[in-house]
Amino acid sequence: MKLPRLLIPVVVFLAAGAAVAVAVFSGDKPALVDTSGIAAASTDGAEPLGPNPNPDEPTTTAPTPAADGPSRDRMVPLQVKNQAMAIGKADAPLVMVTFESFGCGWCGHFHTLTMPELQKNWVDTGKLRIESRMLPYEQRANPGALAGTAAGMQNKYWDLAEVMYPYITGGAEPRFDGAEPSAAEMSAYHQRQSELAMLTKIQESADDVGLDFDRFLTDFRSTEAAQRVAADTQMGNSIGFTSTPAMVVNGVPHGGFASYERMDELLTQVLAASETA
What is the structure's pLDDT at 172? 81
Q: How far apart are CA 182 and CA 273, in angstroms?
A: 44
pLDDT of residue 40: 43
pLDDT of residue 35 exceeding 90: no
Considering the entire predicted model, what is its pTM? 0.81
Which residues fall within 8 angstroms of residue 191, CB to CB, at 6 or more apart? 197
CA distances from 152 to 87, 118, 141, 144 (A): 12, 21, 17, 12
110 or 19, which is more confident: 110
pLDDT computed for residue 247 by the predictor: 96
Asked if 32 and 251 touch (Cβ cutoff 8 Å), the reply is yes
Q: What is the pLDDT of residue 249?
A: 97
Q: What is residue 254's three-state secondary structure?
A: strand
Strand-pairing partners, residue 87, are: 130
Per-residue pLDDT of 238-257, as tens digits, reads 999 999 999 999 999 999 99
Tally: H helices and E strands in the chain: 10, 5
DSSP 42-101: PTT-PPP-SB-S-TTS----PPPPSSSS--GGGGGGG--S-GGGEES-TT-SEEEEEEE-
